[in-house]
Structure 1
Amino acid sequence: MTLISFVVPAFRVQGYLRECLDSILGQPFTDLEVIGVDDCSPDDSGEIFDEYAARDRRVRPIRLGENVGLGPARNVGLDRTTGEYVWFVDGDDWLAPDCLAAVAERLQATRPDVLLVDHVRTHWNDTATRSAMREVFPEPPGEDTFRLRDRPEAMRLLHTAWNRVVRRQFLLDLGLRFEPGWYEDVPFSYPVLMAADRIGVLDRVCVNYRQRRTGAITRTRGERHFEVFPQWHRVFQLMDRWGPRVDELRPAVFERMIWHYLTVLGNGQRIAPELRPAFFAQITADYARWLPPDGYPAPPGVEGLKHRLVAGGRWRTFSALRTANRARDAARRSARTARRRVAPVARRNARRARDVLLREYYRAELHRPLDPTLAVYAAYWYRGYSCNPAAIYEAARRLAPEIRGVWIVRRDRVDSLPPGVEYVVAGTPGYYRMLARARWLVNNVNYPDFVRKRPGSVHVQTHHGTPVKVMGLDQQRYPIGAGRMDFAGLLRRVDRWDYSITSNGFSTQMWDRAYPAAYTTLEIGYPRNDRLVTATPEEVRRLRAELGIGLAELVVLYAPTHREHLPTYRPPFDPDRFVEALGPTGRLLMRSHYFHDRDRRPRPSVDRDRVRDVSAHQRVEDLYLAADVLVTDYSSAMFDYAVLDRPIVIYAPDWEAYRLARGVYFDVTAEPPGAVAMTFPDLLDVFSGGEFRSEAATKARQQFRARFCGLDDGHAAERVVRQVFLGEPAPPRTGC
């Protein structure tokens, strides 16, 4: 029999589900199964379960035809389990590395009914908060099992399903199920402790409890928080049925109920001010209804005072006490903030007068009405006309000519704009005016921090590639790659987004995790790739002619990515030896990452007979169309070029170092779009031996295209314009 059955329900957790499953399946301990329950999730959670099941027989996916909620979804998973123990793990949390071996050892040694494990709360900024384990058990709890009446303090551990591993037969004999609604853990977690004859505690962090920035019920205001009351009623009704065997536990359970109610009430992100009196009144009613005949151990100090106010129904006094505490805390925060502001004020006073005046001008323009016909475009920190914003601009000119499109560019990039494109130069008064009054702001990166999100304005984040390397908040785990990145500032910028455009489901999943906010995702393909789909053979011939390339020549585009953590690094690459390996008809186009234009120092040109530096070429799509083969490492160029269904070679000489230092979302050497070379001699062999066109390389490319390029049909830009500019509804997502 399998030792541990994991039940992993999933609803809107596509950005986190892979990390959850990897944390389970990647453990050295393997005697397990995973029951993945897709609770009719509107995202790609179900597809992720299917993907993992296809490559790991321990994963068994279940698709529900309608959304039933977390509790009933867990019940469905429980009914499919076969293991001796069941562990309910939420799809947005993840296990600590190597914890399963310790869990399994304790289960096999003591055979508990319930094993409690420790956890940490992991916040969006990659900080962690300890659980109450050390406060509940000041002394190490040891390996001996116990009953709850002997150690009732165990109830003070967080009442969740995922911090307890439960013997399956014990659970089935008890007949305990999860209830529907919010706070479904309450009538499960406390009863399993009350009924267990053998409770064990493993004083080891096993679960990372993700504190999501958006999407969690603990950060959602509304009346549904009143569902906490019937969940607790179920606990006491069950105790009534169980009778004398649990009577001695009533005082401790009652104290936990009042503590929980006050915790929910005290969280301003849950209970809106207008609902607080009614919530308090229900606490008072439950206090009177379930108060044990002999009382209960009320807490001391301010918490005890709150309990007494609840008992007396004294809402006004309770509210005044809360207001006083909040005022005291606010005064402390203000004092700390004032101390921190001394240095920034000094720096602001030293700014140039022109910058101050322009920002004041911008703030004044914010008070003028939005221009209902103005759309502002930018790409790559004002480097010019390119990428997804350029494709959307062109589609908008065709489909919505009444909208005026204006580009923001650096002064040194003005000459790169196509004829007839209206623009403003970054840093000028016109620049600030456009940013203040545009109804639509389209960019493939973020606008500067000073830009305000005005009511009625629409910010469109197009991004600029499917991610191989980790991005956004995920970089916090790789400080070498993240450098001095201001993650709080990043989230303020992300909060301005109304739309996030993604080219495939994989990107959607990663952006959900890396950039958690309330934007709407448009999973529609990449607008910049429309041209790759619609280009004609005549256009390809023209582009090759403009680059001086003959029709019979074999053209290889080499486009490595930038190493932020190693800005001077260049992969080992000898252009002359490479073109020699290509043969007499070979030509090499070399393109550096756009970040390299920050280095203003002249670089030696590599332009010669069969090698050409095309780093300055404005539209990379031209180069894709002209090239017969792409060589890259960890660049998003591979995803775009795959649309053309031409050979791709991964050249990854620093893969292990890059993966560890910068962090990656998947292994491009294990799931590549074609042939792979780990050293430069290997790369030469790939071309001299024709491996780049082999049957294996072709099959790898087909699988890669099926995963990442299915939405690139030549109409992505049109879909953006119709939904964002013209207000047409998005096509419905298929499925339940």
Structure 2
Amino acid sequence: MSRFSVVVPAHRVQGYLRECLDSVLTQSFGDLELLVVDDASPDACAAIAGEYAQRDPRVRLIRLAAHAGPGPARNAGADRATGDHLLFLDGDDLLLPGALAAIDAALTGHGEPDVLLLGHDRVDWWDTVRPGGTPDASRPLALPPAAWNRVFRREFWRARHLAFSEGAYEDVVPVHTATLRAGGRLAVLDRGCVRWRERRGGSFSTTPGRHHFALVERYEELLAAAGPDDRARLLPHAAAHLLAVLDDPGRIRAGDRRDFFREAARLHRTYAPASTEPRTPGEKALAAASFAAHEGLRKAESRRLRVTRHLGRQKKKLRARAMRAAYRADLYRSLDPHLAVYGAYWNRAVSCNPAAIHAKARELAPHIRGVWVVSGRHQDKVPPGVEYVVEGSRRYWEAMARATYLVNNSSFPGGFTKRPGQVYLQTHHGTPLKKMGLDQRRYPAGTHGISFQKVLDHTDQWDFSLSANPHSTEVWERVYPSTAYQPLEAGYPRNDVYFTTDDERIARIREHLGIADDRTVLLYAPTHRDYQKGFLPRLDLRRLAERLGPRYVVLVRAHYFYGGDAGLDPHPGLVDVTGYARVEDLCLAADALVTDYSSLMFDYACLDRPIVTYAPDWQAYRLARGTYFDLLSGRPGETPGAVATTEDELADLFRDGGWDTPGTTELRTAFRARFCPYDDGRAAERVVRRLFLAPAQRS
């Protein structure tokens, strides 16, 4: 018996079915059976499912003699299922990576509930992913009634004689019934497990017509069988669902709207308790039983929202004008010779090279007052005792107008005017492997609408361009061409910590991360892909941890573009450190770095510890983004150590010792000599002395 039975009805989804089945079969949690029900599909669905069944014993193909619809198709799959729990997935949807492992952990943690509600997101035909429904334990009926956003204990499903209806909206009755009957044996998993696909055309939800009136019939069937208490719970959600369908032009045509409303209002009058006042806007609209009144309210609400949005835009514009006017006035005030403004990573937090310079300036140049620029949503990340201003605020514009020193690893927001006498240090935030600046013009997949004229205008504001190595100096000079700045070849201040941290401090970091002394720590830190949305590692991290065994622990650091976590499957050999504030601490804790094309490899080389390059999509990355050298060439000064291009190769490197050999040590030494020649623990000091303590040298 399997842990999960995943039932997939298939009808006219041949273009999506392979991706759907792959999303199930490649889950790190593999104790499952996959039942694909061919609903007499006229396309290649049956052939595709049969192909999968031949090569994977977990797949079973069930064929219906005649087209019956998704409800009977799901019932056919549920009748033949043998797993502990039922999970229904449409043939054009996806099970997100790590979903089954997370579901298994949630079921175990909640004592095997009868129903587990799941979160989901949605993707359109442009591959734009947006948030979907999020389950709420206090309001379980508010989750859209769909077959695929919950898991059912199979014995519960059968004992309650649950089944999907025939015809449209087949999941409304069994899904709501199961939610009501589960009672206290209902639990919530608050993470996205399913990706629901919005199709451009041809799907039920995008085909308008009177077949959508079936929704009224489904709720009538549900409410007729419900007791008084359950009716009271169901009615607000039924009203909201009915009115949402009514107001969707992709479902209800304009000429049918009045009839649909009348049917929905009749349903509400029939089952609403006479002594109870309508509670929600939907119930009130149906209780009024006036389509004209509903339309008036809907149009009034639409007008109110438009006015509110317009007033919000106008208020924002007026505020921006006021800020700019005050800023222009501040430009006539004298510069503050003791004020420095810092920024990093587009105002995300206090970090990287600017943070190291700021810290050293407080020590060596205490007369310099340092102020950080952060966005409003990140101001909680500012350490205690660090002065900051919120981007776009009055204090921000005043600081930008009056500061003598500007230090950033990206750019300052809002388009400021650099004044004579202001000194701008651009620190950058990595050594370039991928193409940068004007070189990106040849690789449009990575530009995302960059204005290269604005890039040059920004470059003309710099006075110093910090370099970590001669390679960076050469690249910056070409891709950010300007006579306004001079290179500052001082090394990277953020790397000073690698030369000044003792073993006792490293032991405390590992202890804080919960790592035992006898574990070998691998830091897995891939970079982002310009051509990819979301964190989708090119390996199964849970499977890798299992293959490596208890000797190893893998710290997983997703790129900051992807948010605060990596969405890992639970495993004792994996630790999600995406939200950890200081990547330098993670490097210090790690015995080896595993990365692909991240510039972290150049920083980590300062530690003279093994670097493993895992590059399964190297050719695609080079073609889409462009690179300055061949990371996989094996030549000294280009390849930092061992290389793997498949998951098997990566696991074998650590199991067989290939990750740390005399040959990889020679490669690492050459790599370090090329890319870390200035790093010695005193880079921040050199920058501070040059920027703040040697003004005569800047002329």
Report the counterpart of residue 410 of structure 2 in structure 1: 445
SS in 2 for 1:406: strand
Displacement after TM superposition at 1:533 (Å): 1.1
Q: 1:687 is matched with which residue: 632, 654, 669?
A: 654
Q: Tell me how far apart the structure 1 counterparts of residues 440 and 493 of structure 2 sit (CA, whole Å).
A: 27
C-alpha spacing 1:668/1:565, structure 2 compared with 1 (3 Å): same
Q: Tell me how far apart the structure 2 counterparts of residues 368 and 361 of structure 1 sit (CA, whole Å).
A: 11
Indicate the structure whose relative CO is greater, using CA pairs within 8 Å and at least 6 residues apart. Answer: 1
The CA deviation string for residues 329-368 of structure 1, in whole angstroms up to 9 with x for no partner, is: xxxxxxxxxxxxxxxxxxx999621122112222221111
Displacement after TM superposition at 1:492 (Å): 0.3
Q: Tell me how far apart the structure 1 counterparts of residues 316 and 362 of structure 2 sit (CA, whole Å).
A: 40
CA contact 2:632–2:643 (8 Å) conserved in 1 = yes
C-alpha spacing 1:660/1:728, structure 2 compared with 1 (3 Å): same
CA contact 1:524–1:716 (8 Å) conserved in 2 = yes
Report the counterpart of residue 541 of structure 1 in structure 2: 507
SS in 2 for 1:691: coil
Q: 2:533 is matched with which residue: 562, 567, 580?
A: 567
CA contact 1:607–1:613 (8 Å) conserved in 2 = no
SS in 1 for 2:688: helix
Report the counterpart of residue 557 of structure 1 in structure 2: 523
Q: Tell me how far apart the structure 2 counterparts of residues 559 and 465 of structure 1 sit (CA, whole Å).
A: 14
Q: Tell me how far apart the structure 2 counterparts of residues 374 and 570 of structure 1 sit (CA, whole Å).
A: 42
Letter in 2 for 1:646: R
SS in 2 for 1:352: helix
Structure 1 residues 243-262: aligned runs within 5 Å: none
Unaligned runs of 5+ in 1: 1-347, 732-736
Report the counterpart of residue 356 of structure 2 in structure 1: 391
Letter in 1 for 2:576: D
Q: Tell me how far apart the structure 1 counterparts of residues 682 and 697 of structure 2 sit (CA, whole Å).
A: 13
Q: Tell me how far apart the structure 2 counterparts of residues 501 and 581 of structure 1 sit (CA, whole Å).
A: 42
Q: 1:356 is matched with which residue: 310, 318, 321?
A: 321
CA contact 2:466–2:487 (8 Å) conserved in 1 = yes
The CA deviation string for residues 658-682 of structure 1, in whole angstroms up to 9 with x for no partner, is: 1011100111111211100111111
Q: Tell me how far apart the structure 1 counterparts of residues 518 and 392 of structure 2 sit (CA, whole Å).
A: 47
Q: 1:402 is matched with which residue: 367, 372, 376?
A: 367
Q: Tell me how far apart the structure 2 counterparts of residues 607 and 590 of structure 1 sit (CA, whole Å).
A: 12
CA contact 1:571–1:653 (8 Å) conserved in 2 = no
Displacement after TM superposition at 1:581 (Å): 3.1
Displacement after TM superposition at 1:493 (Å): 0.5
C-alpha spacing 1:351/1:412, structure 2 compared with 1 (3 Å): closer
Displacement after TM superposition at 1:447 (Å): 1.7
Displacement after TM superposition at 1:454 (Å): 0.4
Letter in 2 for 1:427: G
The CA deviation string for residues 155-176 of structure 1, in whole angstroms up to 9 with x for no partner, is: xxxxxxxxxxxxxxxxxxxxxx
Structure 1 residues 30-41: aligned runs within 5 Å: none
C-alpha spacing 1:560/1:619, structure 2 compared with 1 (3 Å): same
Report the counterpart of residue 487 of structure 2 in structure 1: 521
Report the counterpart of residue 714 of structure 1 in structure 2: 681
Q: Tell me how far apart the structure 2 counterparts of residues 608 and 414 of structure 1 sit (CA, whole Å).
A: 32
CA contact 1:375–1:405 (8 Å) conserved in 2 = yes
Displacement after TM superposition at 1:396 (Å): 0.3
Structure 1 residues 615-626: aligned runs within 5 Å: 615-626=578-589
Report the counterpart of residue 470 of structure 2 in structure 1: 505
Displacement after TM superposition at 1:463 (Å): 0.3
Matching of residue 583 in structure 1 with residue 583 in structure 2 = no
Q: 2:591 is matched with which residue: 628, 634, 641?
A: 628
Q: Tell me how far apart the structure 1 counterparts of residues 402 and 382 of structure 2 sit (CA, whole Å).
A: 23
Report the counterpart of residue 637 of structure 1 in structure 2: 600
Displacement after TM superposition at 1:566 (Å): 2.2
Displacement after TM superposition at 1:583 (Å): 2.7
SS in 2 for 1:696: helix
Matching of residue 477 in structure 1 with residue 442 in structure 2 = yes
The CA deviation string for residues 35-79 of structure 1, in whole angstroms up to 9 with x for no partner, is: xxxxxxxxxxxxxxxxxxxxxxxxxxxxxxxxxxxxxxxxxxxxx
Unaligned runs of 5+ in 2: 1-312
CA contact 2:341–2:371 (8 Å) conserved in 1 = yes
Letter in 2 for 1:365: D
Report the counterpart of residue 495 of structure 1 in structure 2: 460
Q: Tell me how far apart the structure 1 counterparts of residues 340 and 537 of structure 2 sit (CA, whole Å).
A: 40
Percent same amino acid among aligned pairs? 53
Matching of residue 379 in structure 1 with residue 348 in structure 2 = no
Q: Tell me how far apart the structure 2 counterparts of residues 708 and 473 of structure 1 sit (CA, whole Å).
A: 22
Q: Tell me how far apart the structure 1 counterparts of residues 430 and 447 of structure 2 sit (CA, whole Å).
A: 18
Matching of residue 609 in structure 1 with residue 575 in structure 2 = no
C-alpha spacing 1:713/1:516, structure 2 compared with 1 (3 Å): same
Q: Tell me how far apart the structure 2 counterparts of residues 648 and 427 of structure 1 sit (CA, whole Å).
A: 41
The CA deviation string for residues 428-487 of structure 1, in whole angstroms up to 9 with x for no partner, is: 111111111111010000223511110000001000000100000000011122231100
CA contact 1:374–1:405 (8 Å) conserved in 2 = yes
CA contact 2:566–2:578 (8 Å) conserved in 1 = no
SS in 1 for 2:482: coil
Report the counterpart of residue 381 of structure 2 in structure 1: 416
SS in 1 for 2:496: helix
Letter in 2 for 1:711: Y
Displacement after TM superposition at 1:606 (Å): 4.1
Q: Tell me how far apart the structure 2 counterparts of residues 606 and 626 of structure 1 sit (CA, whole Å).
A: 22
Q: Tell me how far apart the structure 2 counterparts of residues 607 and 549 of structure 1 sit (CA, whole Å).
A: 16
The CA deviation string for residues 569-606 of structure 1, in whole angstroms up to 9 with x for no partner, is: 62322122222233322111111111123xx8x87454
Q: Tell me how far apart the structure 1 counterparts of residues 424 and 624 of structure 2 sit (CA, whole Å).
A: 32
Report the counterpart of residue 12 of structure 2 in structure 1: none
C-alpha spacing 1:696/1:703, structure 2 compared with 1 (3 Å): same
Letter in 2 for 1:587: V
What's the RMSD between the two structures over aligned residues? Answer: 2.0
Report the counterpart of residue 7 of structure 2 in structure 1: none
Aligned residues: 382
CA contact 2:535–2:562 (8 Å) conserved in 1 = no
Report the counterpart of residue 268 of structure 1 in structure 2: none
Q: Tell me how far apart the structure 1 counterparts of residues 325 and 530 of structure 2 sit (CA, whole Å).
A: 34
Report the counterpart of residue 644 of structure 2 in structure 1: 677
Letter in 1 for 2:641: G
Q: Tell me how far apart the structure 1 counterparts of residues 557 and 655 of structure 2 sit (CA, whole Å).
A: 22
Letter in 2 for 1:698: T
Q: Tell me how far apart the structure 1 counterparts of residues 417 and 401 of structure 2 sit (CA, whole Å).
A: 8
Q: Tell me how far apart the structure 2 counterparts of residues 653 and 449 of structure 1 sit (CA, whole Å).
A: 39
